[in-house]
Amino acid sequence: MAEKLALVGIGKIARDQHIPAINANPDWSLAAAVSRHAGVDGIDHFQDIDALLENRPDITVVSLAIPPQPRFDYAAKALRAGKHVMLEKPPGQSLAECFTLEQMAKEHGVTLFATWHSRHADNVPALKAFLAERTLKRLKITWKEDVRRWHPGQEWIWEPGGMGVFDPGINALSILTEILPYPVHLTGATLEFPENRATPIAANLDFADPTGAEMSAVFDWRQEGPQTWDIDIETDRGCAKLSLGGERLEIEGAPATQGANHEYANLYARMAELVKTGRSDVDLSPMIHVCDAFSLGRRLTTDAFHF
């Protein structure tokens, strides 16, 4: 029998990704939506999480596709009510919030899934397998996109907790922490803050690799035209390039392997597996790198940003 699921937050990412993935998976039944401004045809609509929990006790799973700032309160209420919870990335606005939610899920015997959709891109597993058999020499992340295209008018991303350019940048970090056979740590960063904003619009990161490889990342939210989501890799036995955020992979000069956009379908398949087996999945390693960037980063002021 399909699990009854409530989707909280009916914005662009919910309509583009969450709803199609839920409806395509027989393990799920989209039973309710929670949003102050929008609903989904054919299902119950509630203004807040309290109304959902009061009126639909039959719903067993809550998926949160809202900005990180209010997410903790919503997740905590759902966990306390005995609901399984799925968190859109980033899982919270602070590590402490995430640790608290993880402990709450254990105490209430329910599943908590901190999702990283870019890890589930089609060609990430192949790149992970490639690196497992080689010695890394150089890794360069280039993640540049147009904030006006992907977050039109969304002021929350520029507020504390919204993460600024790390909202997309954390996708690259989720791939990095998945494909490497060992952990790495940040050694330094420069963060460019628009003079009228509280979060950065660009960032340059440097990492320490235990094998001595050169490793860095460039994030920028000012790129117009074609968008860039690339990871370039050099090893002792050939090179690889992951592009389109993980949909395309070229290894050792071979023609690129082209995937499709299955990330959210894979997320909901993973959530179904976790619920069935009574487990949680809360890997916070990508967010640790972001927090370290804010801690170690040198702040630079750049031109004001306006939508």
Q: Which of 255, 235, 257, 234 is nearest to 246 (CA)?
A: 257
Give me the sheet containing 28-34, strands edge to edge: 44-46, 28-34, 3-8, 61-64, 84-87, 112-114
User: Domains in the chain and their CATH numbers?
Assistant: 3-114 (3.40.50.720), 118-259+291-302 (3.30.360.10)
Percent of residues, the chain, with pLDDT higher than 70: 100
Contact 44, 31 (CB under 8 A): yes
pLDDT at 258: 86
| Confidence at residue 39, expressed as pLDDT on a 0 to 100 scale | 80
Q: What is the pTM of this model?
A: 0.95
In degrees to the nearest 10, what's the CA dihedral of 292, 294, 300, 301? 160
**What is the model's pLDDT at position 40?**
87
pLDDT grade, residue 5 (50/70/90)?
Answer: very high
Q: What is the pLDDT of residue 192?
A: 98
The answer to whether 89 is a known catalytic residue is yes
In whole numbers, what is the pLDDT of the chain averaged over residues?
96
In the predicted model, what is the mean pLDDT of residues 161-176?
97
- Average the pLDDT over 134-146 and give the result: 97
Write out pLDDT tens, residues 58-99.
999 999 999 999 999 999 999 999 999 999 999 999 999 999
Q: State mean pLDDT over 9-26.
A: 94
Is the confidence at residue 252, as pLDDT, over 90?
A: no
Sign of CA dihedral 279, 285, 291, 292: positive
Look-up of token digits 């976790």: 274
pLDDT classification of 228: cutoffs 50, 70, 90: very high
Give pLDDT, residue 38.
82
Please determine, for residue 231, whether its predicted confidence score (pLDDT) is greater than 90.
Answer: yes
pLDDT score, position 161: 95
Catalytic residue among 4, 12, 77, 89: 89
CA distance 303 to 221: 13
